[in-house]
């Protein structure tokens, strides 16, 4: 399946690095929520859901982690290990996050507020959803 990553603009010099992300320029959806995942214990796996409408960019701003994406027909795995790389995850995509390195921080820019109604947390329900909605 097609994976959409984006390299955000970064200023680097001898004093360090600074990555910047601007609404409407770098991210085409309106950013309504930011959250971050950290302190993930070794071997833990998170996610196991899809969203009906939510769009997100996932950025591992410290350390590394892997993301499994599944569109109901195909799966792909991406390693995020660069703080200026964003992975787009759109609606109708099952995701699992795993292999978090020690101290990893996964930052997420989301198009909407949190609502449990937007989640599909059962894999068979996800398969039915993408087939019925004609997403894939």
Give CA–CA dist 109/24, Å, rounded.
13
Q: Is 46 in the site for ligand T46 (CB under 6 A)?
A: yes
Q: Choosing from 46, 49, 52, 62, which is the catalytic residue?
A: 49
For ligand T46, which stretch binds (CB under 6 A), given 17-25, 29-37, 69-77, 125-133? 29-37
Q: Is 108 in the site for ligand T46 (CB under 6 A)?
A: yes
Burial of 116 (0-12, 13-18, 19+ CB in 10 A): exposed
Give CA–CA dist 53/1, Å, rounded.
19
Q: Residue 49 catalytic?
A: yes
Catalytic residue numbers, as ranges: 49
Which residues contact ligand T46 (rule: CB under 6 A)? 33, 35, 37, 46-47, 56, 58, 95, 97, 108, 114
């Amino acid at each position: 399946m097609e994976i959409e990553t984006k390299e955000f603009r970064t200023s680097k010099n001898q004093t360090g690095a600074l990555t910047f992300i601007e609404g409407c320029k770098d991210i085409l959806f309106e950013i309504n929520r930011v959250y971050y995942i950290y302190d993930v214990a070794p071997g833990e796996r998170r996610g196991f859901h899809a969203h009906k409408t939510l769009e997100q960019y996932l950025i591992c701003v410290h350390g590394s982690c892997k993301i499994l994406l599944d569109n109901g027909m195909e799966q792909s795995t991406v390693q995020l290990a660069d703080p200026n790389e964003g992975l787009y995850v759109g609606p109708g995509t099952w995701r699992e996050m795993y292999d978090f390195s020690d101290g990893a921080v996964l930052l997420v820019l989301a198009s909407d507020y949190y609502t449990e109604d937007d989640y599909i947390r059962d894999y068979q329900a996800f398969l039915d959803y993408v087939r019925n909605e004609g997403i894939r």
